[in-house]
Structure 1
Amino acid sequence: MSLIFRLAGAGNRLGPIGCQFMRHDKSGLISFVRPVTLKAQAAQPPKEEGHDERNMRLKRPQSPHLTIYAPQLTSMLSISHRFTGMALSAYVIALGIGAIVLPESIPDYIEKLECLEIGEVGISIIKFFLAFPLSYHFWNGIRHLLWDTGRFLTIKEVYITGYIMLTLAIATAIGLTMLCVPPEEEQREE
């Protein structure tokens, strides 16, 4: 565009070729340039409307979301994998902050918890809920590593490995729960 204006301003300096090129009749380049006049107006403030109101005004359909899908094993295991990862991160953060801030060591707090006489079943339930995220995330991570090698990727194999992973995760969590027997019970058994 700037070239056109430079050529138009050059006028007779370009010689006979430039003058023919920039003629104002229908055969010249100037005939293609349309004069434009801009009129200044005050800016209009945007309408105060939300996302949904704007889409309804523009007659845009609402996109379907997760609520239209039936729960599937694959999606539930994926969501659970993320939640157990967040739980494990929360354990590490809580234990780290607790080690820095709390005046006593962690074994002292465990001893105080045992003194509450929650009972063997209560302590086992607490241990299970602490051990399950670790075992679930571990076994599902192994499953994902197997997928990275290109194995077990058909729908049937994905479901089979999902059920196997769930079984291993629950069994491992129960095993970890039963593995840690309080010292008082060990003395009673002897």
Structure 2
Amino acid sequence: MSLIFRLAGQRCNSQFLKNSNGLISCIRPVTLKATNVSPPSKEGHDERNMKLKRPQSPHLTIYAPQLTSLLSISHRATGIVLSGYAIGLGLGAIVLPESIPHYIDCLHEMGPAAVSFVKFSLSFPMAYHFWNGIRHLIWDTGKMLTIPQVYTTGYIMLAVTFATAGFLTVM
């Protein structure tokens, strides 16, 4: 490949770079001036930027929480929680000495509040991740992308999520 480019360059250069005398005229002499290099400064990045009066990059702590960012972070968090549930329950089924129904019976002995809490803890991340994933699939079609629509679908998704998780909890 380089041979092709070299040959093409020689062919093109021979026509465009020669003057009427047949000499290459576009090359001009360049003189470089040598200077001493200053030693690197021992100040840190932040100190140098403060001295130069450069603004610091904004950090998450200066932003007001927005529905869009909170829902995005929550979507990732529920995905992680669901993965943790799958790994934990799968390993528990393999490693624990008793079968799963034994542990469910132990949970029922703790009372209905404990059962409801465990059911909600298992159903909420699943419902949230499912409904928010549907919302993202709608976005992938190019619909509901204006800011008012994003906020409206966010609030609707939260309402449907809590309704779904509540329904699965009382079942």
1:122 maps to 114
Q: Deviations over 1:20-57 (max 9, x none)?
A: x9xxxxxxx9xx476999x9xxxx7984x654345445
User: Compared with structure 1, are the counterparts of its residues 152 and 33 closer, same or farther at alpha carbon in structure 2 (3 Å cutoff)?
Assistant: closer
Q: CA deviation at 1:72?
A: 1.3
Does the 8 A contact of 2:123 with 2:165 survive in 1? yes
CA distance in 2, matches of 1:80, 1:132: 12
Q: 1:141, CA displacement in angstroms?
A: 0.3
Equivalences, count: 146
2:64 is the alignment partner of 1:70: yes
TM-score after normalising by structure 1? 0.64
1:77-96 mapped onto 2 (5 Å cutoff): 77-96=71-90
Secondary structure at the aligned position of 1:150 is classed as coil
Task: Give the Cα–Cα distance (whole angstroms) in 1 for the partners of residues 153 and 30 of structure 2.
Answer: 69
The one-letter code of the counterpart of 1:64 is P
Amino acid at match of 1:66: L
> Which one of the candidate residues 137, 146, 149 is aligned to 1:145?
137
**Residue ranges of structure 1 left out of the alignment (5+ in a row):** 1-20, 22-28, 180-190
Deviation digits for residues 3-30 of structure 1, max 9, x if unmatched? xxxxxxxxxxxxxxxxxx9xxxxxxx9x
Task: From the CA coordinates, give the structure whose radius of gyration is larger.
Answer: 1
CA distance in structure 2 between the aligned counterparts of 1:157 and 1:54, rounded to whole angstroms: 44
Offset of residue 113 of structure 1: 2.1
Question: Quick one: distance in 1 between partners of 2:32 and 2:71?
Answer: 65
Deviates more, 1:169-178 or 1:121-130: 121-130
Deviations 1:99-128 (A, max 9, x none): 22222222221212222x2x2123212211
The change in CA–CA distance for 1:34 and 1:140 in structure 2 (over 3 A counts) is closer
Deviations 1:138-162 (A, max 9, x none): 0000000001011111111111111
Q: What CA distance in whole angstroms lies between the structure 2 residues aligned with 1:152 and 1:33?
A: 59
After TM superposition, give the deviation of residue 88 of structure 1 in Å. 0.4
Is 1:160 matched up with 2:144?
A: no
Matched residues in 1 for 2:154 and 2:51: separation? 45
Higher relative CO (CA 8 A, sep ≥ 6), structure 1 or 2? Answer: 2
Structure 2 distance, partners of 1:45, 1:70, is: 39
Q: Structure 1 pair 169/35, CA: closer, same or farther in 2 (3 Å)?
A: closer
Contact 2:107–2:114 at 8 Å: present in 1 too? no
Question: Mind listing any 5+ residue stretches in structure 2 that lack a counterpart?
Answer: 1-22
